[in-house]
């Protein structure tokens, strides 16, 4: 989606900040073209909506045009590989997630990019809450009851997901492992199909992102049990966390952030980081993010790099425990 053309002011600014940073960077700065943000997921989905919400404000902070280029496929790997192979001049960026930069390295045996070596972290952006929801006719009403029910009915409780290797799948696997229960994974082609069958009673439970699950719980079409974040979600304080209501230590939130191709000059990374942090401090952006089930978590490139490393270790353990693999 093109928003508008890059202002010459950005090119002038980049010429100043790149200085002696190399001919490729200087040449790119002399051209009038917008910044391309590759979102490796389909238009209109949760990732796409979050990217548009934040980047609209980042444009203002940069005085530049950013256009969203959706390149879905292979759980985000198609778009991620595209950016990994792009020129490191600040004009091509990736909307990275816990999928592209933490889960997929363990899930896909033939990944054609390195989530660490091929990218320069720019800024983490949000933590994306999820919610444990069940069919309204399913007996358990709290986490402790759900765990007890599953232990009393081993193998008889099915949990839906948006597909193999998705956050909803692995969050369910983490819940299963930590609770020590025998529940069966039922993958779907997307969260909408999974939620439909959950409402219809074909499956009993699901962990899904707040933007999808909370409206269904609020309307009564599903029963909300708890949220997956470490603390209660500000937009839905009536729901406890899974950790506080029966499974101490549980946390399974998704996250997103911006990364650039490895070798992008630090001056450009810092300029982008400052613009993103400014956007995430805008009250209007914060309110819009809450409506999408997300909370801003701005930070430095170094903090984002450490978060990627910790998240990779966590999800690798979940993937290995579940035995999930995708060719």
Please count the other Cβ atoms lying within 10 Å of the Cβ belonging to residue 314: 17
CA-based Rg of the chain, rounded to a whole angstrom?
20
What are the angstrom distances between the C-alpha of 196 and each of 44, 209, 285? Answer: 19, 15, 30
Please count the other Cβ atoms lying within 10 Å of the Cβ belonging to residue 8: 9
Task: Taking residues 23-31, report their average pLDDT.
Answer: 40
CA within 13 Å, CB half, 236: 29
Q: Which residues contact 268 (CB under 8 A, 6 or more apart)?
A: 14, 17, 18, 21, 25, 89, 90, 260
For 133-148, what is each residue's pLDDT tens digit? Answer: 999 999 999 999 999 9
Q: Name which CATH class applies to 8-128+254-322.
A: alpha beta
CATH fold match for the domains 8-128+254-322 and 130-245: yes
The mean pLDDT of the chain is 89
Helix ranges (DSSP H) in 245-300: 266-280, 283-291
Helix ranges (DSSP H) in 85-209: 98, 104-107, 143-152, 167-179, 191-200
Confidence grade of residue 192 (pLDDT, cut at 50, 70, 90): confident
Provide, rounded to the nearest whole percent, the portion of the chain with pLDDT above 90: 77
What are the angstrom distances between the C-alpha of 33 and each of 11, 70, 106, 150, 218? Answer: 9, 18, 36, 56, 44
Q: What CATH fold (topology level) applies to the domain 130-245?
A: D-Maltodextrin-Binding Protein; domain 2 (3.40.190)
State the pTM of this model.
Answer: 0.82
For 81-132, what is each residue's pLDDT tens digit? Answer: 999 999 999 999 999 999 999 999 999 988 999 999 999 999 999 999 999 9
Angle subtended by helix axes 266-280 and 301-322, to nearest 10? 80
Task: Taking residues 52-74, report their average pLDDT.
Answer: 95
For 195-236, what is each residue's pLDDT tens digit? Answer: 999 999 999 999 998 988 999 999 999 999 999 999 999 989
For 147-181, what is each residue's pLDDT tens digit? Answer: 999 999 999 999 999 888 888 999 999 999 999 99
For 29-61, what is each residue's pLDDT tens digit? Answer: 434 689 999 999 888 888 999 999 999 999 999
Q: Which residues contact 95 (CB under 8 A, 6 or more apart)?
A: 37, 38, 39, 40, 47, 51, 79, 256, 257, 258
Residue 190 above 90 pLDDT? no
* Residues comprising the chain, all counted: 327
Local structure of 69: helix, strand or coil: strand
Domain ranges of the chain: 8-128+254-322, 130-245
- Residue pair 184/256 in contact (Cβ under 8 Å)? The answer is no
Phi-psi region of 293 (alpha: psi -120 to 50; beta: other; left: phi over 0): left
Strand 92-97 and strand 35-39: the pairing is parallel
Report d(CA 290, CA 234) in Å as an integer. 8
Confidence grade of residue 327 (pLDDT, cut at 50, 70, 90): low
Residue 243 above 60 pLDDT? yes
């Amino acid at each position: 989606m093109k928003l508008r053309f890059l202002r010459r002011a950005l090119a002038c600014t980049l010429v100043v900040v790149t200085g002696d940073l190399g001919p490729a960077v200087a040449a790119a700065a002399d051209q009038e073209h917008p910044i391309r943000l590759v979102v490796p997921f389909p238009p209109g989905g949760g990732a796409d909506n979050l990217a548009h919400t934040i980047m609209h404000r980042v444009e203002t902070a940069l005085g530049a045009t950013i256009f969203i280029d959706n390149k879905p496929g292979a759980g985000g790997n198609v778009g991620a590989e595209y950016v990994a192979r792009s020129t490191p001049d600040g004009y091509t960026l990736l909307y990275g997630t816990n999928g592209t930069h933490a889960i997929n390295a363990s899930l896909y045996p033939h990944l054609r990019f390195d989530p660490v070596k091929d990218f320069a972290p720019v800024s983490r952006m949000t933590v994306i809450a999820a919610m444990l929801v069940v069919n309204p006719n399913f007996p358990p009403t709290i986490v402790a009851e759900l765990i007890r029910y599953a232990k009393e009915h081993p193998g008889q409780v099915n949990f839906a997901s948006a597909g193999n290797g998705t956050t909803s799948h692995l969050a369910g696997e983490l819940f299963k492992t930590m609770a020590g229960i025998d529940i069966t994974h039922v993958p779907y082609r997307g969260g909408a199909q999974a939620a439909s069958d959950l409402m219809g009673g074909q499956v009993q439970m699901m962990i899904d992102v707040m933007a999808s699950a909370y409206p269904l719980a609020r309307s009564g079409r599903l029963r909300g049990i708890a949220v997956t974040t470490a603390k209660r979600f500000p937009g839905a304080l009536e729901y406890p966390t899974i950790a506080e209501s029966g499974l101490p230590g549980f946390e399974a939130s998704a996250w997103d952030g911006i990364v650039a191709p490895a070798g992008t000059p630090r001056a450009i990374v810092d300029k982008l980081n400052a613009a993103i942090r400014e956007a995430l401090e805008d009250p209007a952006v914060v309110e819009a993010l809450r409506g999408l089930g997300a909370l801003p978590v701005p930070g430095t490139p170094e903090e984002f790099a450490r978060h990627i490393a910790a998240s990779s270790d966590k999800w690798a353990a979940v993937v290995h425990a579940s035995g999930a693999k995708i060719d």
